Amino acid sequence: QVTVRDALNQALDEELERDERVFLLGEEVAQYDGAYKISRGLWKKYGDKRIIDTPISEMGFTGIAVGAAMAGLRPVCEFMTFNFSMQAIDQVINSAAKTCYMSAGTIPVPIVFRGPNGASAGVAAQHSQCFAAWYGHCPGLKVVSPWSSEDAKGLLKASIRDDNPVVMLENELLYGVPFEISEQAQSKDFVVPIGKAKIEREGTHVTLVAHSRPVGHCLEAASILAKEGVECEVINLRTIRPMDIETVEASVAKTNHLVTVEGGWPQFGVGSEICARIMEGSAFNYLDAPAVRVTGADVPMPYAKILEDNCIPQVKDIIFAVKKTLNI
């Protein structure tokens, strides 16, 4: 069993060792070992040139990282939380995402933007939003959102090796969670392909699609519903852009029902995109009921714990949505 934190640490260590063009920069990543200890031990091993502490200036160090990527290096740019990436969104979207296209493919920008995304616990509105839909909206970026340790390790390695800018949206509340990790995932050559979803649980009655932490909630809901004779198929999206809609379509063709689950806001969300794509494609003909979205509440995140709990999708909300869809 390996925690998500250790899986990310292993991935960084292996890629820094494999390719000397890779370097990590961000606030407190070096001497302090990372705000969340993701980069623990790396500064001691690789030194100041490869693990770089930056001032609290996202716009500045993101610009440096994007320029380094254009010049042939492979930076990993850590945001202490993706809420702070707003300071640097011009660098991420206008510089990183668009340059390869605008240069007719002559200037690739191989960079990874990573850090915790979505709601944490007790940090209120300015530190609790999910940026999957924001970044997933922009052509030129790839966007990944891991759930398990295997996802985290494999997707980070794949992102560092990719020649495109990749936004990797981790979840702070998952960092300390241990997951079983396969023999194969312990190899230094293990990568999870970007753009491929994973079926975490097979089922026949309803398809549940989620990414990041809500995947765990879906599996929990599926276990409870199984006792009532309802078999849920749980899909871990893994990648937001490019989205693996084929896996979702094949599942919907089998189960005839769809529920999407995410921690972000409802309007223009990841679930909205999945529902639209299903409606526009052949899988629509297989639906026996309207697709249902389970999302965060349409409000800035409150600070009070009881309100926060009611703003984030819980297992009971998923069970309610499934029963409503199946009309039971």
Which is catalytic among the residues 14, 15, 27, 58?
A: 58
Whether 257 is catalytic = no
Selection from 33, 101, 27 nearest residue 61 by Cα: 27
Which two three-digit tokens encode residue 178?
């241990």
Phi and psi at 243, nearest 5°, equal -85, 135
Which is catalytic among the residues 28, 127, 137, 231?
A: 127
Residue type, 76: V
Whether 280 is catalytic = no
Phi and psi at 108, nearest 5°, equal -75, 155
Q: CA–CA distance from 202 to each of 139, 236, 260, 314 (Å)? A: 32, 12, 16, 21
| Residues classed as catalytic | 58, 127
